[in-house]
Amino acid sequence: MVNFYLIKQKSEGTDRIIVGLNLLDRGIIREHYKIFKNGNEIGFVTSGGYSPTLKKTIGLGLVEKQYSEVGTEFEIEIRNKFLRGEIVATPFYRNV
């Protein structure tokens, strides 16, 4: 039974995708925080925190595919406040 669902998912794809997150407002994002666009929930944070190297708050989230383009702005609900963020490319840092 499990194989059927994996085959179906592989052939049809999924409706959500993992993206990089950058918080534009001051705050820290943590897992399970909800991600919104125009008041509609579009996904959630899978991991997040402050990056000392980049000196900003970053994270990963699972969002609906139509909102996964780099540069897309969104809001994250943190303690009943909505903070601005944007979708960013990953990896966050490249050591040249």
pLDDT tens readout for residues 3-62: 787 787 778 778 899 999 999 999 999 999 999 999 999 999 999 999 999 999 999 999
- The DSSP annotation for 9-76 comes to HHHH--SEEEEEEEE-SSS---TT-EEEETTEEEEEEEEEEEETTTTEEEEEEEEEGGG-STT-EEEE
Residue 71 is predicted with a pLDDT of 96
Residue 40 is predicted with a pLDDT of 96
CATH class of the structural domain 15-88: mainly beta
Residue 59 is predicted with a pLDDT of 97
Q: Report, as an integer, the average pLDDT of 60-75.
A: 96
